[in-house]
Amino acid sequence: MFDISIGTIVPVRCAADMIPILEPKGFECFELDFLGENPAQLDWSRLSDSINSKLQGARISALGFYANPILREEDRNNLTVMIKNARRFGCNVIGAFAGGDPEKSVPENIPDFKRVWTPLVQMAEDEGVKIGLEGCGGGWRHGSRNIGFCSDAWELILDAVQSPALGLEWEPCHALEKLADPIIQLRRWADKVVHVHGKDGTVAWDVIAEHGIDSGAIYCWNRTPGFGDTNWADLFTILLQSGFRGACDIEGYHDPVHLDDMEWSAQLTALDYLKRCRGGVSWFDGPEYKGYAKRIRKAHI
Instruction: Find, among 1, 49, 6, the residue nearest to 196 by Cα.
Output: 6
Residue 277 lies in a domain: yes
Residue 212 lies in a domain: no
Instruction: Find, among 144, 197, 142, 138, the residue nearest to 168 by Cα.
Output: 197
Residue 217 lies in a domain: no
Residue 213 lies in a domain: no
Digit-by-digit pLDDT tens for the chain (301 residues) are: 899 999 999 999 999 999 999 999 999 999 999 999 999 999 999 999 999 999 999 999 999 999 999 999 999 999 999 999 999 999 999 999 999 999 999 999 999 999 999 999 999 999 999 999 999 999 999 999 999 999 999 999 999 999 999 999 999 999 999 999 999 999 999 999 999 999 999 999 999 999 999 999 999 999 999 999 999 999 999 999 999 999 999 999 999 999 999 999 999 999 999 999 999 999 998 887 766 655 555 555 5
Residue 214 lies in a domain: no
CATH code of the domain in which 122 resides: 3.20.20.150
The total number of structural domains in the chain stands at 1
Residue 208 lies in a domain: no
Give the chain's radius of gyration (CA, Å).
19
Q: How many residues does the chain have?
A: 301
| Residue 261 burial by Cβ neighbours in a 10 Å radius (0-12, 13-18, 19+) | exposed
3-state secondary structure 187-199: HHHHHHEEEEEEC
Q: Looking only at Cα atoms, what is the longest distance across the chain?
A: 64
Q: How far is CA 95 from CA 7, 132, 135, 226, 234, in A?
A: 15, 5, 10, 23, 23
Say whether 252 sits in a helix, a strand or coil. Answer: coil
Q: Report pTM.
A: 0.95
Q: How far is CA 281 from CA 20, 127, 274, in A?
A: 20, 33, 8
Residue 211 lies in a domain: no
Residue 160 lies in a domain: yes
Strand partners, 201: 222
Distance between CA 131 and CA 113 in Å, rounded?
A: 14
91: domain range? 4-199+225-300
